Structure 1
Amino acid sequence: MNIFLSWSGDQSKKVAEILKVWLPSVIQSLKPFYSSTDIKKGKRWDGELSKSLNDTEFGIIILTEENRTAPWIMFEAGALAKNIETGRVCTLLFDIKDTDVVGPLSSFQNTKSTKKDILKLLEDINETLAENKISKEVLIRVFEKMWPDLETEFTKILDSKKVKTKEELRPERELIEESLRILRNMHFRHTVFSNTDFEFDRHDKVIFDKESEAILFYSGEDEEYWIGLDQLNNTAEVIDFIFQVAGKSWCKSKHIKEFVDCLNEISNLYFDTSAQGVICPYGSFMKIDWNKREKARLTLLESSASE
C-alpha cells in the first residue's frame, strides 16, 4: 500500500524521515512516500508529486506547532482528501494538542504520537490491506518490538527542538506556484510531456503528447494510431476523424470517450474552455489554429470549399 507522508517545516520533516523507515518495519507491504527523498534528482518535481498523490491509498499529515497553518500542508491535505477514500487520511499530532488543530484540518481524524494512538493507526491501515493484511496478533507482537525505536526517535526530536523562524518553512510564494503546477498536472490526466520521466498508464488510453502536439491511441500497451493537432483544424475534420477511428478494429467505445475527454483537456490547455466551446460553440462550424490559440466561425464559402 502506498502511504503519502505530508510535511512542512524542519520538525515534521524529521518525523516523516523516521516514519518512512519505521512503518515498513512493522507492516512490510507499506510503501511510504516522503517527498524530500523519493523524488530522484533530475525528475520533474511537480509531475512526480502529482503521480504520488494520485497513486496514494492512505495519507498521514504530520502536524506540528510550526506548520499547522502552513499553506503547503493545507494544499496537500486538500489533494489527499480529493484523491483518497474517506477515512484513509489522518493527521499525526506531534507535540501539539487536538485543540490546536483548526480549520479544514480539524475534519480529519487526529492521531496523537503516543503508543496507543500509533497502534490504532496501524490497525486501521492494516484493515485496508485486503490480501496483504496481517493478523492482529502478529501486528501487536511486531509493534511491541518496534515501538521503543520510534519512541526514542520521537524523544530525540523533542529534545533538539529549537525556535524556528517563519523563513524556515517553505516560501509561501514558491509553494503557491508549485501548487498550481501540481493541480494542473492532476487535472490534465490525458496530457503528457515527452520529457516527463514518470511512468504513465497507457492501457487502452487516448493521450495527448504536448511536445509533439499529437493525440496517441493505445490498445492495451501498444500504440495503434496517432493524429497531429494540425490535422484537426476545423469542426468537420474533427467529426470526420471520429468516424474514421471508430471504424478501426482495435477501437472500443472507451477510446471514443477518452478521445472526447482528451479534446476537452486540450481545449482547456490551449483556449481555457471546453472542446464544445472551441470546436462547435452553439452548433457553429469552426476553424481552429491551435498553435496561435485562435478560432473563428467558418463562413458558408469556406464550408463549401472544404467539402
Structure 2
Amino acid sequence: MKVFLSWSQQRSKLVAHYLKEWLPYIMQSIKPWFSPEDIHRGEQWFNAINKGISESTTGIICLTKENKDKPWILFESGALFKGIDKSRLFTLLIDIEPSELIGNPLYHFNHTRLIKEDLLKLIKDLNQLSDEPRDAGILTKMFETFWPDFEERLKEIFASTKQANEDVADSNPDPQALMLENILQAVTNVDKAVSKITQAQDQKSIDVRKMIELETQLEEQRLMAVNMRDKSIKSSLFGLSPVISENEFRLLVDQLRTLLQNRNISFKEVKSNPEFWYKELQTFSGWLLTFNFNDFLKALDWLIGDKSN
C-alpha cells in the first residue's frame, strides 16, 4: 500500500520524514512516499509530485499551526482529495487541535492527533485498508514496541523547531518558496474558474473553447511551478527577478504576444497603463509571475517596436 506523505514547513517535514522510516516497522506492506527522498535527481519535481499522488492509495497530511493555511499544503490536499477516496485521506495534527481548523478546507477530514491512542487507531485503519493486512494482535504489539522510539523522536523534533505562534520572524524568507506559493495560488484560482463554469452550465452547453483555454492556463502554471523548483533565485520576490537569459527573454516576448493577441488587447493599450496590465495579466497566466516588472516592460517595448506586428 503506497501512502503519500504531504508536508509543508520544517516541523511538518521532519515528522513526515520520520513516518517514512517508522511506518514500515509496524506494517511491512506499507510504502510511504516522501518527496525529498522519492524524487530522483533529474526528475521533474512537479510531475513527480503528481505521479506520487496518482499512484498512492492513501494520504497522510502532516498539519501544523504554521502550515495549515499554506497554499502548498492545501494544493496537495486538494489533489489527494480528487484522486483518493476520502475515507483513505487522513490529517495528522502535529501541534494543532481540530477546533483550530474551523473554516479551513481541511476541517472535515479524518483527524488524527499526535498522541499514542490516536496514532494506534490510524495504524489500525491503515491496516484495514491494506491489501495485505497484518494480524491485529501482532500489529498492536509492534506498535507498542516502536512507540517509545517515535515518542522520543517527536520530542527532538519539537525541541528543534519553532511553532508558528511563537512569533519568530524569518528575516530571510526563501524567495523561491514565496514565488512558488504565488504560482500555486494562481493554479488554485484557475481550478476554481473551471469548477464554476462546470457547475454553472449544463455539460452539453459548456463553451468548449473556454474550457480548453482554462485548462491550457492551468497547465502553463503547473509547468512554471516545475521551472521554479530548478531556477536559482538571486533576489527577493519583491526585488529584481532572476537574471533572465536571451532565450528566456524570447520566450517571454512570444508568450506575451500570444496572450495579448488571444484576448484582442493591443500592445499600446498595455503600454498606456503597464502597472495595471502587469497585475491583470498574471490572473490569466501564472508564468508571468516569474518575470519582474522591468522584464515585462522590456518585452512590451520590443513588441511595440517589432515591425512584423
User: Distance in 2 between the 1:161 and 1:7 partners?
Assistant: 14
The answer to which structure has the higher strand fraction is 1
User: Distance in 1 between the 2:215 and 2:28 partners?
Assistant: 47
User: Are the aligned partners of 1:58 and 1:88 in contact in 2 as well (CA < 8 Å)?
Assistant: yes
User: Are the aligned partners of 1:10 and 1:169 in contact in 2 as well (CA < 8 Å)?
Assistant: no
Question: Alpha-carbon deviation of 1:160?
Answer: 2.2
2:32 paired residue number: 32
Question: Alpha-carbon deviation of 1:107?
Answer: 1.1
1:230 paired residue number: none
User: Distance in 1 between the 2:69 and 2:17 partners?
Assistant: 21
Q: Cα–Cα, structure 1 residues 169 and 91, in superposed 2: closer, same or farther, change >3 Å? A: farther
The answer to which structure has the higher helix fraction is 2
Give the count of matched residue pairs: 195
Q: Cα–Cα, structure 1 residues 270 and 146, in superposed 2: closer, same or farther, change >3 Å? A: closer
TM-score under structure 1 length normalisation: 0.57
Question: Alpha-carbon deviation of 1:22?
Answer: 0.3
1:105 paired residue number: 106
User: Are the aligned partners of 2:10 and 2:161 in contact in 1 as well (CA < 8 Å)?
Assistant: no
For structure 2, the residue ranges without an aligned partner over 5 or more in a row are 191-207, 218-257, 259-309
AA matched with 2:4: F
Question: Alpha-carbon deviation of 1:179?
Answer: 7.5
Alpha-carbon displacement from aligned partner over 1:278-300 (angstroms, at most 9, x marks no partner): xxxxxxxxxxxxxx9xxxxxxxx
2:3 paired residue number: 3
2:177 paired residue number: 171
Alignment of 1:133-282 (within 5 A): 133-162=133-162, 163=166, 164-165=168-169, 167=173, 171-177=177-183, 268=212
Question: Alpha-carbon deviation of 1:270?
Answer: 11
- Root-mean-square deviation (Å): 3.1
AA matched with 1:119: L
Alignment of 1:75-94 (within 5 A): 75-94=75-94
1:117 paired residue number: 118
User: Distance in 2 between the 1:271 and 1:123 partners?
Assistant: 40
2:285 paired residue number: none
User: Distance in 2 between the 1:44 and 1:179 partners?
Assistant: 20
2:129 paired residue number: 128
AA matched with 1:173: M
Alpha-carbon displacement from aligned partner over 1:181-208 (angstroms, at most 9, x marks no partner): 8999xxxxxxxxxxxxxxxxxxxxxxxx
User: Distance in 2 between the 1:110 and 1:169 partners?
Assistant: 32
User: Are the aligned partners of 2:6 and 2:76 in contact in 1 as well (CA < 8 Å)?
Assistant: yes
User: Distance in 1 between the 2:101 and 2:69 partners?
Assistant: 9
Indicate the percent of aligned positions where both proteins have the same amino acid.
36
Higher relative contact order (CA 8 A, sep 6+): 2
User: Distance in 2 between the 1:111 and 1:173 partners?
Assistant: 31
AA matched with 1:35: S
User: Distance in 1 between the 2:127 and 2:135 partners?
Assistant: 9
TM-score under structure 2 length normalisation: 0.57
2:66 paired residue number: 66
Question: Alpha-carbon deviation of 1:138?
Answer: 0.8
Q: Cα–Cα, structure 1 residues 14 and 270, in superposed 2: closer, same or farther, change >3 Å? A: closer
Question: Alpha-carbon deviation of 1:159?
Answer: 1.9
User: Are the aligned partners of 1:93 and 1:110 in contact in 2 as well (CA < 8 Å)?
Assistant: yes
AA matched with 1:62: C
Question: Alpha-carbon deviation of 1:26?
Answer: 0.7
Alpha-carbon displacement from aligned partner over 1:247-298 (angstroms, at most 9, x marks no partner): xxxxxxxxxxxxxxxxx9xx9489959xxxxxxxxxxxxxxxxxx9xxxxxx
Question: Alpha-carbon deviation of 1:171?
Answer: 2.4
AA matched with 2:45: W
Task: Give the secondary structure class of the aligned counterpart of 1:65.
Answer: coil
AA matched with 1:2: K
Question: Alpha-carbon deviation of 1:65?
Answer: 1.3
AA matched with 1:96: I
Runs of 4+ in 1 over 6 A off after TM superposition: 179-184
AA matched with 1:81: F
User: Distance in 2 between the 1:66 and 1:181 partners?
Assistant: 22
Question: Alpha-carbon deviation of 1:158?
Answer: 1.5
Q: Cα–Cα, structure 1 residues 129 and 183, in superposed 2: closer, same or farther, change >3 Å? A: farther
